Structure 1
Amino acid sequence: MIYVVRAGDTVYSIARETGVEPAQIQYDNQLYGQSHLVPGQALLIRGPGESSEYSGLYVTGYVYPFVQRDILLESLSYLDELLIFSYGFTPQGDLIPPRVSDLPLIELAWSAGVRPMLVLTPFGADGRFNNYLVNRVVEDVDVQENLIRQLEDTVRVMGYAGVDVDFEYILPEDRAGYAAFVENLREVMNENGWQVSVALAPKTSADQAGLLYEGMDYRLLGQAADHVFLMTYEWGYTYGPPMAVAPLNMVRRVVEYALTEIPAEKILMGIPNYGYDWPLPYVRGTTAATVIGNVEAVRIAAENGAVIQFDEIAQSPFFTYRKDGILHEVWFEDVRSLEAKLQLAQEKGLMGVGYWNLMRPFRANWLLFAGSDA
């Protein structure tokens, strides 16, 4: 069950009310280091004999090679696939490996029965998505063949299970060519028993305007890849106004449009494992939010005497607090918002869900996939 903290509640009073040991409530919800419970805080309470209704979902998530080992180990038990971020490439199609070796993560994933996937991104020298690199792969046959050949060699040598293609800001004129590249890559990978997935920006219609969307053809990419990863988050973002990162009403719109173009059994619905803290007042072009973890968000609320509220339309928690004379607004995820997303994935019969990203701890999220004996 999910218990929403009321004013005056303590771990011990909740334990008496629910019949669950205080130590388990503290452990499951990572309450150590939090000075007190926060009114409006959502706690996961696992009673004896309970089992998860979400255990049938396929689960994946992105991770950088420099992830803390203990944080990754906690999530591995619930994953089917691990997306290791990321390999880049040059304008000539030569692969650029991550700065930190990815081999330890590959070995750790396989040892846990999890399929490690090489993530390919067109990052330029500034570390941002570069649509010139995408255009080179799409337009130059030699560059594309070289890149696919190097991906095949790297997947084989490093022991990957396949490739996840995460290209963004694709030029509209490269729309069909980009899908053809994914299809060509999949053909080579499938011949070797490997898979190809592709990340999709969060569209709600086929003709959606904007550089993030116009080069993404859901139908073509859904046909080209073995499965797709819907990036249904970043509605609230660093330079945008305060709002939920993945409001359920918008997530639902993305999923429902995707289902008109792609079979449900090929769709992974993205879930954010983070929140944002905005200083107020918000000034467009000036204000920048700070990325925070979901456990960290509750600790901030506790330290500053905030009360957590819950937006019923967005199905997301938020709160405001004042520190050093500055008002802040925080939006994040809790077990209520996560359960709403998992229920949506089940309702629509999707293949599963995927997390961006696995770098921050959030034990209660993983326990949603587990029974009381986990």
Structure 2
Amino acid sequence: MALRFGARVRLSVLCAVTALLVTLVQPPAAADEPLPRTVSGWLPYWDQEGAYADALRHAAQLHTVSPFWYRAAAADRIEGHPGAGETRIIDGLHAAGIKVVPTVMETMERGALADILTDPALRATHIDTLLTLVAGHTYDGIDIDYESIATTGDTAYPAVRAAYASFASQLCAKLHALGKKCVLTVSPQTATTGRIWDYPALGRAADTVRIMGYDLHWQGGSAGPLATPQWYDDILRRATALIPAAKLEMGLPAYGWDWVDGGATRHVTWREAEALRTTKGIPYHLDPDSRTPHFRYEEDDSVRDVWYQDATGVAADVPVLRRYGIRNTTIWALNFEDPQLWPVLGRV
């Protein structure tokens, strides 16, 4: 006989709690046993001091910090965000035993990055420009986070996919010749997303491939969880079949979105989401399906819908990561996160 609705909800909640307890009851590391350095994190330039202090607080677990410092503006031009290349921060992270691998992102006009990648001369110029950037500082490598090509249409898709793979292979080889790390940040590959990335080729070229495991529901779409265990299972089942698990880092969200129908979606860090929930006097609620925190509140005669991630939500994802042999994680972003996230990541 089918379960009544209330019974199904209670059963779903019980299953979620049981899975969480299985994760959390594992014995903690002994007091004299160091936490594993299996975590990396992006350092946002708009919260540089707070994120830097956060990194130092958790240096025992961090192996790499990627300051979000640079933007590729053209084949021969890399622009720095405020604070880019600050020696005090580079030296401080190194002194804490943390590698510094800054991120280069891009927000070029549609088609501009594809034009650079598919032109061998422009591609070579861009690689040289990136190498000059790395050589000009005491960086340990570079993280390439190029996302505008992800929406390439069917006609150009095969050529752009192959061109990005060639770019990655050539750049990584030259970085390795300099003794530097090559990190590639990509979007998840599922049945309907991420086809622009040639996962096997990128896995062969890079030291690390970071998968951005967030924005299952995103700023421009409908409200919902940023990630779920089921989604992670789909992502990692595909990824580990194409890239060695030891080379993969699963990107975890430390933030959320605050949606409203017909209005602007707001970005919220975990800290901001929890402060908002507390101010509104709303009880903590874990969505039984996604196992992520979620609440609604009223503002200006509208109902706003907040989904975000915290340590409890990530703990529900940990068994999936373990199942696929993923030990390394990366956080978007430092100083956004629930402080209780760190011991959870120590169990991955």
Q: Same fold (TM over 0.5)?
A: yes
Q: Which residue of 2 aligns with 1:80?
A: 63
Q: Which residue of 2 aligns with 1:265?
A: 246
Q: Is it true that 1:341 corresponds to 2:317 in the alignment? A: yes
Unaligned runs of 5+ in 1: 1-41, 125-129
Q: Is it true that 1:302 corresponds to 2:278 in the alignment? A: yes
Q: Secondary structure at the match of 1:147?
A: helix
Q: Hey, what's the Cα distance between the residues in 2 that align with 1:91 and 1:69?
A: 29
Q: Hey, what's the Cα distance between the residues in 1 that align with 2:311 and 2:167?
A: 38
CA deviation after TM superposition for structure 1 residue 54, in Å? 11
| Worse-superposed segment, 74-83 or 183-192 | 74-83
CA deviation after TM superposition for structure 1 residue 318, in Å? 0.9
Q: Hey, what's the Cα distance between the residues in 1 that align with 2:84 and 2:28?
A: 40
For 1:51, the aligned partner's letter is A
For 1:91, the aligned partner's letter is A
Q: Secondary structure at the match of 1:313?
A: coil
Match of 1:251 among 199, 213, 232: 232
TM-score for the superposition, normalised by structure 2: 0.81
Is 2:106–2:148's contact at 8 Å kept on the other side of the alignment?
no
Is 1:121–1:166's contact at 8 Å kept on the other side of the alignment?
yes
For 1:137, the aligned partner's letter is I
1:112-153 CA distances to partner (integer Å, 9 max, x unpaired)?
Answer: 2111112122323xxxxx453322332222322222223222
% same residue: 23
CA deviation after TM superposition for structure 1 residue 273, in Å? 0.9
Match of 2:188 among 202, 222, 228: 202
Aligned residues: 311
Match of 2:131 among 144, 152, 157: 152
Is 1:305–1:321's contact at 8 Å kept on the other side of the alignment?
no
Unaligned runs of 5+ in 2: 1-19
CA deviation after TM superposition for structure 1 residue 216, in Å? 1.6
Is 2:212–2:250's contact at 8 Å kept on the other side of the alignment?
yes
Equivalences for residues 218-257 of structure 1 within 5 A: 218-257=199-238
Distance 1:158 1:148, change over 3 A: same
Q: Secondary structure at the match of 1:51?
A: coil
Q: Which residue of 2 aligns with 1:94?
A: 77
CA deviation after TM superposition for structure 1 residue 57, in Å? 5.9
Distance 1:339 1:254, change over 3 A: same
Is 1:276–1:289's contact at 8 Å kept on the other side of the alignment?
yes
TM-score for the superposition, normalised by structure 1: 0.75
| Worse-superposed segment, 342-351 or 234-243 | 342-351
CA RMSD after TM alignment: 2.7
Q: Secondary structure at the match of 1:81?
A: strand
Q: Is it true that 1:62 corresponds to 2:45 in the alignment? A: no
CA deviation after TM superposition for structure 1 residue 267, in Å? 0.7
Q: Hey, what's the Cα distance between the residues in 1 that align with 2:195 and 2:240?
A: 18
Match of 2:169 among 179, 183, 187: 183
Greater relative contact order (Cα < 8 A, sep 6+): 1
Q: Hey, what's the Cα distance between the residues in 2 that align with 1:120 and 1:146?
A: 16
Q: Which residue of 1 aligns with 2:93?
A: 109
CA deviation after TM superposition for structure 1 residue 268, in Å? 0.4
1:89-110 CA distances to partner (integer Å, 9 max, x unpaired)?
Answer: 3434232222433224322221
1:21-44 CA distances to partner (integer Å, 9 max, x unpaired)?
Answer: xxxxxxxxxxxxxxxxxxxxx9xx
Q: Hey, what's the Cα distance between the residues in 1 that align with 2:213 and 2:309?
A: 14
